[in-house]
Copies of this chain bind each other. A is one copy, B any other.
Amino acid sequence: MARSSTRRGPAPAGPTINDLAQHLGVHKSTISRAMDPARRHLIGSELLARVETAARELGWRPNRAAAALSTGRSRTVGVLLPDITNPVFPPILRGIEDGLDEEGYFALLANTSRPDSRPGGQAAAQAAVERMLAQRVEGFIVATALRDDAWLESLHASGARIVLVNRTSDAKAGRSALPAVTSDDMLGMQLAVDHLVGLGHRRIAHLAGPAYFSTGQARRVGFDRALQTHGLQAAGIVTCGAYSIDAGAEGMRELLAMRPAARSVARSGALTAVVAANDLIALGALQVLHAEGIEVPQQISLIGHNDMPLLDQLRPPLTSVRIQHYEMGLRAARLLLAALQGTPEAASTAVLRPELMVRGSTAAAPGSR
């Protein structure tokens, strides 16, 4: 008799707070209080115990959907990724979820890059955000930001809570950039260049990532600055069209065309090292170098960025700048949750330290000792 007779949903929903209240002969608001850690102390300890055992016995589970309607808080945030299939994102996502989990939040996920990459790529993201908003997510964690992302700005302007991960947007005139958790890309490039220079390299080129990503831009600038600290100049910079093996291969071909490689140690002016903006680009470069019969690291040293899985299984194992992906996701989640709790202006930005994983793809420059 506990259940109202007019249930509609198809789901076999369990007992409600009313059932519990009746069962115990108390009012439902008492139950509600008993379940709220913040107000539990108002309840008589004996009653509290009864409520808890009864809840367990009846198998009552507070209905969050109902609570969400009442409080306006869904305990849910939206997460925008380009594509979880890209090895960079799983650890980020894992970090995000672990962070959200700490406060009992869930993520609603959307992969915004369609496999067929049909025109209007942002359209998928917008549709996803629309649906997430309908589900009343409390905020967004965004890994798809462009440096100049008008749509994201307007989403933010409309009052949405947003934290960016991995990629940032540029600060605009009179307005600071969105809160973000990123890796120190400048430092990453400095580590890479320091390592190469230490090995005697002086003619170092860069395969850059797309300039509309903050990572592409920052790593490129970081590369230049790092060279300057050693009094060197770039031996060539090619901007790849994407963070992909194919784009990396194409970039490497271009680089070789403008700057013949160090086939002989005697050949002055030839390239002896390449720093790629990302591991996939590095892999593409590696393929081309193989195909050209140029040996890595004997003739050319190669460094990637991200330290994605299995890099250490390659031959040669790829030296790469390791980024704290998991940590980035974790911090982003905590940052967003803090903002949602109303924590005023808790540091709205975090920059994590990368680390160079030295492996077999880098060695002393040919001709140096």
Contact = CB atoms under 8 A, between A and B. Distances in A.
Interface in A55-83: 61-66, 68-76, 83
Given A65-B74, A136-B65, A159 B111 contact: no
Interface string A331-346: 0000000001010000
Interface of A: 7-13, 61-66, 68-76, 83-85, 87, 89-91, 93-94, 97-98, 104, 106-111, 130-136, 138, 159, 283, 286-287, 309-310, 313-315, 340, 342
A135 B314 contact: no
Given A84-B84, A136-B64, A72 B106 contact: no
Contacts of A93: 84, 109
Contact of A65 (B65, B315, B342): B65
A72 B136 contact: no
Nearest to A87: B309
A71 to B, nearest CB: 6
Nearest to A309: B87
B83 A111 contact: no
Contacts of A130: 61
A9 to B, nearest CB: 2
Given A94-B85, A310-B310, A72 B13 contact: yes
Contacts of A91: 85
A135 B90 CA distance: 24
Contacts of A11: 72-73, 136, 138
Given A8-B71, A93-B84, A133 B66 contact: no
Nearest to A86: B90
A366 B62 CA distance: 66
Nearest to A128: B101
Contact of A313 (B72, B76, B283): B283
Contacts of A131: 104, 106
A89 B313 CA distance: 20
B97 A135 contact: no
Given A94-B84, A134-B63, A340 B10 contact: yes
Nearest to A315: B315
Complex A-B, nearest 6 residue pairs according to Cβ-Cβ distance, in ascending order: A9-B72, A315-B315, A12-B159, A65-B68, A106-B108, A310-B310
A94 to B, nearest CB: 5
Contacts of A87: 87, 90, 309
Nearest to A75: B135
Contacts of A90: 84-85, 87, 89-90
Contacts of A314: 310, 313-315
Contacts of A89: 90
Nearest to A340: B10
A132 to B, nearest CB: 8
A108 to B, nearest CB: 5
A13 B135 CA distance: 11
Contacts of A104: 131
